[in-house]
Chain A
Amino acid sequence: MVKDRTRNLRETFEPLTSGVFKNNATFRLVLGTCPTLAVTTSAINGLSMGLATTFVLVCSNAIVSMLRNFIPRKVRIPAYILVIATFSTLVQMIMRKWLPDLYDSLGLFLSLVVVNCILLARAESFASLNPVIPSVMDGIGIGLGFAFSLTLLGMIREFLGAGALFGYEFTALVEAGLPMTIFVLPAGGFLVYGFMMVIYNAVVKAVENAIAKRAESRNNDNPDVPKDKNGDPIPLILEPETGEDAIEALKREGGDA
């Protein structure tokens, strides 16, 4: 069901932050793995691929959200692909004109942005159900999260594999023979991706636990929060007083009364 209810500022901007960290497309949702492994041989490739995908994601999310009541459900996937393909081609045209080296370097994977599962997944699961602004925020969040992950992987692989960062070569490292070519090759891509996924998820889980603990201790310290005989806070449950209240509450939640 289309959620067209008014949102407060926090709800509007929530997809932005969750897309970057909590729902990071690469490390948490494990989407778009093919371009992730293929183009992260250097940091600049990862960054540019991430930004190109962000642009397509933001624009396609906005258009899909705008047209969500106009597109018939039966043909929604071809319609979304049409929108995504338009912006993907647009990015290709722009990069070919003004960034030809990067265009050559990204090669086929720039054209394959159109079938990147992140784009279709966000169009289907978010933009087609939400208003324009939250959809754009979701596009920016997920896109920046993807760009961040690709850049990070590219930096690690380029540094370990070629002794360089963003094309700047550390001559001393290269002359000492320290770069390990395997990190630029596909096997190294899988290795770095796997390790980064473990580290990222451990960090995010630790942060989430710390936030939950802080919230819990805040509740324990607050004298206004009712507690049971063991001193644990009693969860606050608001129950409608009458049957009519319950129907109203259900309607507000978007259910059938």
Chain B
Amino acid sequence: MRKLNVSKESVRIVVCLGVIALVASLLLAVVNIFTQVDEAAELRKAIGDVYAEAEIEREIDLKDYDDTDGTEVLNAFVATDGAYIILTHVAKADKVGYNAEGVSMLVVIKDGAIIKLSGYSHSETPGLGANAFKDKHLNQYVGLTVDRFDVSDGAQIIAPESGYFTPVKVTSATYTTNAVFLAVKASVRAYVILTGGM
């Protein structure tokens, strides 16, 4: 059998990198135990902050729910007072340029009208894209009934002349305004479908 020629230096290199990698893995594993994020608990806390009027009664199974292009309904809950709390994620609000990727909105709809909404997560620039999540802008959706949204056409921005609701856009945050609008619209669509309206 041929003897394997391994130099002392090669062994040293392997041992050195191996030891560093092992210690690093152990350290990260220990830290991970303490910093693991319980996403379900985070979501329930966020819902409590947005809609404190009622408790969550049940979560709706979205296994068979078909999303529109570019949006995804992540979770839907029914509150004890009959309100629907829907978390929707927008992957892309526009195909060109900086396009407000990764906007998630919590929308509360009760008796066919939007009663509350809030940005759940986003990575928009403060003072720029993040302005679209301020109450001043979000309040334009509050009180709108679901029939103000054309939920049949998928993830599209509606032209003002269509008769449906079109949002007032935030200066220098047009794509983010679109993302917020698409999230609200997808939430309304989910509400309509889940309540048997479509």
Chain A residues at the B interface, C-beta cutoff of 8 Å: 41-42, 44-45, 67, 70-72, 74-75, 78-79, 82-83, 85-86, 89-90, 93-94, 96-98, 100, 104-105, 107, 158, 161-164, 167, 179, 181, 184-185
Contacts and interface: CB of A to CB of B under 8 A. Distances in A.
A162 B128 contact: yes
B35 A93 contact: yes
B123 interface: yes
A89 B16 CA distance: 21
A67 B27 CA distance: 17
B12 interface: yes
Nearest to A41: B125
B31 A94 contact: yes
B127 A72 contact: no
A162 B13 contact: no
A79 B21 CA distance: 9
B32 A93 contact: yes
Contact of A97 (B24, B37, B123): B37
Nearest to B12: A72
Contacts of A78: 17
6 pairs of A and B residues whose beta carbons are closest in the complex:
A162-B127, A86-B24, A97-B35, A42-B126, A93-B35, A107-B123
Q: How large is the interface on B (under 10, 10 to 19, 20 to 34, 35 or more residues)?
A: 20 to 34
B122 interface: yes
Contacts of B34: 97
A179 to B, nearest CB: 7
Contacts of A163: 127
Interface of B: 9, 12-13, 16-17, 20-21, 24, 27-28, 31-32, 34-37, 42, 121-123, 125-128, 171-172
Interface centre among B36, B125, B127, B128 (most CB of A within 10 A): B127
Given A41-B125, A42-B127, A184-B127, A94 B35 contact: yes
Contact of A82 (B13, B21, B36): B21
19 contacts: A41-B126, A42-B127, A67-B20, A74-B13, A75-B13, A75-B16, A79-B20, A82-B17, A85-B24, A90-B31, A96-B35, A97-B36, A97-B37, A104-B121, A107-B123, A181-B128, A181-B171, A181-B172, A185-B128
A177 to B, nearest CB: 10
A164 B123 contact: no
A69 B118 CA distance: 54
B27 A86 contact: yes
A42 B127 CA distance: 8
A105 B126 contact: yes
